[in-house]
Amino acid sequence: MMRALDPERMMREMFQWDPFAEMEPVTRLRQPEAWFSPDIELRETKDRFVFRADLPGVKESDVDVSISGRQLSISGKRDEEREEREGERVYAYEREYGSFCRSFTLPESADLDNIQAELKNGVLEIIVPKAAGVKPKQIPLRGKEPSAEGSTEAKKSEAKKAA
């Protein structure tokens, strides 16, 4: 029996298809050391930036957090734990191992001298405080209409026109 064409199903399958998924095992074989990319969360509050990286199974001694100029780098490795036991079959092996490196450019407001990092329960948390007194500068757009309150110059100009 022939299946009827289902455009919805076809679209779902098309968006789920990863054309590079078949290539991943081949590229891993060619690399002397496998790489993985930890998931990162980056938040900003009024007084700091907070980075969180999921690093389950990574030892503190295998993580390096460094700063060069305004470039914050997180690097390290997770050693493979695969061990095969006699009489045991492995049906799936999707855990990632190897080296990782992530870099972020910090803004001018970052206080580079007071950065703190902690690895706890498999989560690396890096806190970058904001420097005191550094506030974002508002850049006016050329040709932009003055706001309802208007600038002093705009008010003077309007007063001249009215007179």
From CA 54, how far away is CA 89, in angstroms rounded? 28
Mean pLDDT, rounded, for 53-69: 94
The position carrying tokens 């503190």 is 60
**105-153 pLDDT per residue, tens:** 999 999 999 999 999 999 999 999 999 876 667 888 998 766 555 555 5
From CA 13, how far away is CA 128, in angstroms rounded? 42
pTM above 0.85, yes or no: no
**64-118 pLDDT per residue, tens:** 999 999 999 999 998 887 677 888 887 777 778 889 999 999 999 999 999 999 9
The CATH code that applies to domain 39-80+93-133 is: 2.60.40.790
Domain locations along the chain: 39-80+93-133
Q: Where are the beta strands (DSSP E) in the chain?
A: 40-44, 48-54, 63-68, 71-78, 98-105, 116-120, 123-129
